[in-house]
Amino acid sequence: MGDVEAAEEQFDHAGALRTRQEAVNRALNGGNTKQALQAALENPPLGCKDEKIKLDSLTLVTNTVSRVKDNEIQAHVDQLSSFEVDTLMKFIYKGLGEAQECGRYLKWHEVVTNKAGLGVIVRAIAERRGL
């Protein structure tokens, strides 16, 4: 209802992005891609009016995803909660849409679909607050 939308408008997306960037970079510097992935998927900027924040958020995910070997993708996806899996699929579609690391994202798309079925794709497409 109205309250939820109002709360979302006031949410500090820029601040959340900075927090994410620090967490992801720290994890990646330590070689911990699993932690980096979870950090990158936190507080997704759904419905944020600032496109740059959304693109920067995507960059975080792309950076993480590009450092994961193909045979490790399954392990990375298995550790995610169902909310994180939904968020990941939304980023996958955004990455494909921005033509970033498409080969990678297609492999991730396959792994996520195997785990969460067609429902996760439906929810990524049906998300009304754009990513």
Partner 1 sequence: LHPPYSSPGHSAAMSIANLRLADSITCHAWNNNCSEVAICPNNNQVQIFKRNGTQFDPEPLHILDEHDQVVSGIDWAPKTNRLLTSAHDRNAYVWRFEQNVWKPTLVILRINRAATHCKWSPNENKFAVASGAKVVSVCYFEVDNDWWVSKHIKKHKSTVLKVDWHPNNILLATASSDFKARVFSGFIKGVDERPGETPFGSRLPFGELLAEYPSNGWVHSVKWAPSGMQLAFCSHDSTVSFVDVSGGAPGQLQSVKFNGLPVVDILWLNEDALVGIGFDNNPLLFSRNGGTWSFTKRLDEAKKEAAAAGANRAAFNMFKAKVEVGAESNVTNLNTLHQNLPNCLKSMNPGASVREFSSSGLDGIVSVWKN
Residues that bind partner 1 (CB under 8 A): 1, 4, 82, 86, 116-120, 122-123, 126-128
In angstroms, give the least distance from the CB of 45 to partner 1.
Answer: 16
Secondary structure letter of residue 70 according to DSSP: G
Q: Which is nearer to partner 1, 5 or 51 (CB)?
A: 5
- CA 70 → CA 11, 67, 92, distances in Å? 35, 9, 15
Residue 100 neighbours by CB under 8 Å, 6+ apart: 58, 59, 62
Q: Which is nearer to partner 1, 67 or 123 (CB)?
A: 123
In angstroms, give the least distance from the CB of 130 to partner 1.
Answer: 12
In angstroms, give the least distance from the CB of 86 to partner 1.
Answer: 7
HSE toward the beta carbon, residue 86, CA cutoff 13 A: 13
